[in-house]
Structure 1
Amino acid sequence: MELVISIVFVIAALLTCAASPGDRLLVNMTVVRSAAAIGAYCLDGSLPAYHIHRGFGAGARNWLLQFEGGGWCNDITTCADRAQTRRGSTRLMNQLETFSGILSNNASCNPDFYNWNRVKLRYCDGGSFVGDAMFDNGTLVLYFRGQRIWQSIIEDLLPKGLRFAKKALLSGCSAGGMASYLHCNSFNNYLPNATAVKCLGDAGFFLDAPDINMYHTQRTFFQHLVTLQGIEKNLDENCTNSISDPKQCIFPQYLLKYITPPLFILNSAYDVYQFHHILAPPSADSHGLWNHCKLNPKACLPEQIQVLQAFRVEMLTALRSFLFNSSRGGVFINSCFAHCQSESQDTWFALDSPQMYNETIAESVGDWYFGRNVSKKVDCPYPCDDTCHNLIGAV
């Protein structure tokens, strides 16, 4: 009987959420004026910013912080270009940001976190919030100050109630998802011991894997990123002291065992960004043999599907210890061609959201955070999952 009531409640909530798609929550930008005191600047020298929507009721003392994503820049040319866009300057960002999915304030659309204090940290450093360097040739000045941006935002939020948090969740998507791995321990250290701190990485488990030509394209990219932006000194010391190349500790797979708070890994086994930029980047496919496959998985040749399946196995291998040995960890690895599934309402919690074992992503994350149920789910290989929202071709 309890199970039937629970299912009816969930269906009713999903119908209510679906019935009001036009009710967008727009949240104003808060610029961190005090950031200049510690030299926390975006690439172009503008001040960092975030958007906050206050919690209420039972969630008034709970906090969810969400790192914005948006790739990286790993050389002066691309960073200079980025500094002239919303990815490198808060002056060029929208002052209003839509809060949906895990940031929604609608209980029908976000049943576990709707009434928490929810904060979106704007991404303007191009280095997943961990750099600490500067470039100045007399003509061009670029600030790689992601670590200080993180510090300045936290220090701005602490007196606004974060220091009294009962529950806290640090999350992020893509490059922001990687930031949630990189800053999980730091977030925990900022908060009282009594705070229940947990972290969620959405589409941030970027693999240190070879491309189709067996070159480590992403490893080389990240090595340049770490060097340019002065990131190495901000990587976890336990990790950097235990590996031959400390720069590799920017990869979550090497950092994973050193993350102290409970962690939830949300990723697609066929993550679109990783498919396009790590497995089959343009540099490895000069003749465009993978172009049709990238645009439509149904157009992939049998041998290309084999490569994709091997990439999935590589991800699961990197997660093996976490899957079987972490008693406090949560996992949702589905077999969708997607990238970032917690911020969009249609993939987070909706009538036709991706599911595994009859649970949406929102339900799985909620079960894990609140300890309602064991929440480690790994999908069967493509093409078995018919609940996917495949975004292939969109990245």
Structure 2
Amino acid sequence: MASSRPILAFLIAVLACSAWSPRVEAIGPVGDAVRNVLGRFGRDKSDWFDLVLLENDGLKEGAVCLDGSPSGYWFRKGNQENKWLIFIEGGGWCYDERECLSRSRTFLGSSDAWPRDRPVDRPLFSADPKVNPTFYDWNIVNVGYCDGASFSGNVTDPVVVDGKKIYFRGARILDQVMRHVKEKQGLSGDVILSGCSAGGLTTILHADKVAAQLSDVTTSFRAMPFSGFFPITPNFQGDPWFRVRADNVYKMQRVEPSLNEACLADNADNAEQRCFEAEHAYRYIKTPIFLINSLYDAWTVQNIYNITSDTVPAKDVPKVVPFLNERSRLVFNLIRGAPNYNNVGNGDFLHSCMTHCGGCCTDEGWDKVSVKGETVRDAIGRWVEGGNGNNVRTDDACVYTNGPPYQCNPTCPPFPPI
């Protein structure tokens, strides 16, 4: 039994190195002012985002963060007038009202702490064509995340928790951001909607709705979610933890009206909440979509599967790798088995690295991790260049083993010695 423990140690080391959180800093007014003064002198505008808050029509329409502050986005103007990448930030969900109240005091629930400008800090946004040959000169809209439910809630009246008001208005935020970008920034032409984690799920849930909203100004509209496919499945201990949490968010934020109408119609037997789940919503997407996801997603392993050093007893360690391999096959089949998977213009980059949001947001995930010799960067490039009629897919990903090196893809990010 003792000889099997390195398996879990390996996985814990992987998870420790794979943890991802949004890189928006929560800085105070003094730090914000200093940053603005120092940052603006001699800077290259292509390497910075400027914050745009929806303080007029957005507030009028109730498109506010959890704490009632104005929602908004960061913007970097590119050299190609008719090329737009809209990227939605992630940051998980808040699962009940008290947790949402706590979140409302952070940058994931309030714009008060958002920096007024910030440097481009991800390879997907880079203005260097050597780093980012596809999007380096595109207009980039980086949507701030502050509603706690993947831009899906729409509760008319504020909810009072411990004497404080909180607002569930994610659907209004998404609507007003797109309206503002179209009317004030001049969005038109080719548009790709993207996002990571909760933002990747937002892309899956709402791609068709955004496509319809922008249809009068776009010549091409596609979706590109990163790490947004979260399976609804019992965890390692057999507890349906994530389904219970997802159902709570669905009810608390009154998500149903913002979801795909065709999906809702097909699940009208008191199972409408399925349409708030990636594995069901994905099946109804008409927008051409390129999905980038790990079959061993680090957030999923820790949270949905509940595999950590504290939750797996020594006697159960030998079961971990078979469990993960079975779940990786489940995710693979949910994606590849979707009825729209073979639609023209669809594709995926599915890999086995235990990471989360690495494909968009880390140098390793962007241009070092590869499947059959192709990186995320290059696969995305092929998909974008091919237009709406181009299908780009990876081969079947490899699976883990119970002995060293455990992880099967040698291009995955290295981990510290165990």
Check whether TM > 0.5.
Answer: yes
- Is structure 2 residue 290 aligned with structure 1 residue 259? no
Could you give the per-residue CA deviations for residues 317-369 of structure 1, whole angstroms, max 9, x where no partner exists?
Answer: 2112249633321111100010002332413544xx10112211011112112
Answer yes or no: is the 8 Å Cα contact 1:73–1:79 preserved in 2: yes
Secondary structure of 1:195's match? strand
Q: 1:131 aligns with which of 126, 131, 153?
A: 153
Secondary structure of 2:266's match? coil
Could you give the per-residue CA deviations for residues 248-301 of structure 1, whole angstroms, max 9, x where no partner exists?
Answer: 21111101221111001111011000001111267xx9x6326x99xxxxxx94
Answer yes or no: is the 8 Å Cα contact 2:97–2:161 preserved in 1: no
Q: 2:323 aligns with which of 296, 307, 315?
A: 307
Answer yes or no: is the 8 Å Cα contact 1:367–1:374 preserved in 2: no
Distance 1:357 1:374, change over 3 A: farther
State the match for 1:146 in structure 2: 170
Write out the 4+ residue segments of structure 1 that deviate beyond 6 Å after TM superposition: none
Which amino acid in structure 2 is aligned with residue 33 of structure 1? E
Secondary structure of 1:144's match? coil
Which amino acid in structure 2 is aligned with residue 118 of structure 1? I
Q: 2:237 aligns with which of 194, 204, 213?
A: 213
Cα distance in 2, alignment partners of residues 347 and 147 from structure 1: 33
Q: 1:29 aligns with which of 36, 51, 55?
A: 51
Cα distance in 1, alignment partners of residues 64 and 415 from structure 2: 33
Cα distance in 2, alignment partners of residues 112 and 80 from structure 1: 40
Secondary structure of 1:170's match? strand
1:214 Cα shift? 2.2
State the match for 2:63 in structure 1: 40
Distance 1:272 1:52, change over 3 A: same
Which amino acid in structure 2 is aligned with residue 355 of structure 1? S
State the match for 2:118 in structure 1: 97
Secondary structure of 2:127's match? coil
- Listed as ranges, the gaps of 5+ residues in structure 1 are 1-22, 294-299
| Count of paired positions | 355
Q: Report matched runs for 1:55-204 at 5 Å.
A: 55-56=78-79, 59-99=80-120, 100-133=122-155, 134-136=158-160, 139-163=163-187, 165-192=188-215, 195-204=219-228
Secondary structure of 1:177's match? helix
State the match for 1:362 in structure 2: 377
Secondary structure of 1:92's match? coil
- Is structure 2 residue 387 aligned with structure 1 residue 387? no
Answer yes or no: is the 8 Å Cα contact 1:178–1:252 preserved in 2: yes
State the match for 2:357 in structure 1: 340
Which amino acid in structure 1 is aligned with residue 266 of structure 2? S
Q: Report matched runs for 1:286-301 at 5 Å.
A: 288-289=311-312, 301=317
Which amino acid in structure 2 is aligned with residue 117 of structure 1? N
Percent identity reads 28
Cα distance in 2, alignment partners of residues 246 and 391 from structure 1: 41
1:390 Cα shift? 6.0
Cα distance in 2, alignment partners of residues 41 and 268 from structure 1: 32
State the match for 1:5 in structure 2: none
Bigger mean CA deviation after superposition, 138-147 or 59-68: 138-147
1:86 Cα shift? 0.8
Secondary structure of 1:325's match? coil
Answer yes or no: is the 8 Å Cα contact 1:208–1:251 preserved in 2: yes
1:385 Cα shift? 0.3
- Is structure 2 residue 268 aligned with structure 1 residue 268? no
Answer yes or no: is the 8 Å Cα contact 2:48–2:76 preserved in 1: no
Cα distance in 2, alignment partners of residues 324 and 160 from structure 1: 35
Distance 1:324 1:75, change over 3 A: closer
State the match for 2:31 in structure 1: none
1:161 Cα shift? 4.4
Bigger mean CA deviation after superposition, 172-181 or 244-253: 244-253
Distance 1:390 1:162, change over 3 A: farther
Q: 1:316 aligns with which of 320, 329, 332?
A: 332
Answer yes or no: is the 8 Å Cα contact 2:264–2:272 preserved in 1: yes
Secondary structure of 1:376's match? coil
Q: TM-score of the superposition, structure 1-length normalised?
A: 0.84
1:26 Cα shift? 2.9
Answer yes or no: is the 8 Å Cα contact 1:102–1:113 preserved in 2: yes
Cα distance in 2, alignment partners of residues 226 and 167 from structure 1: 32
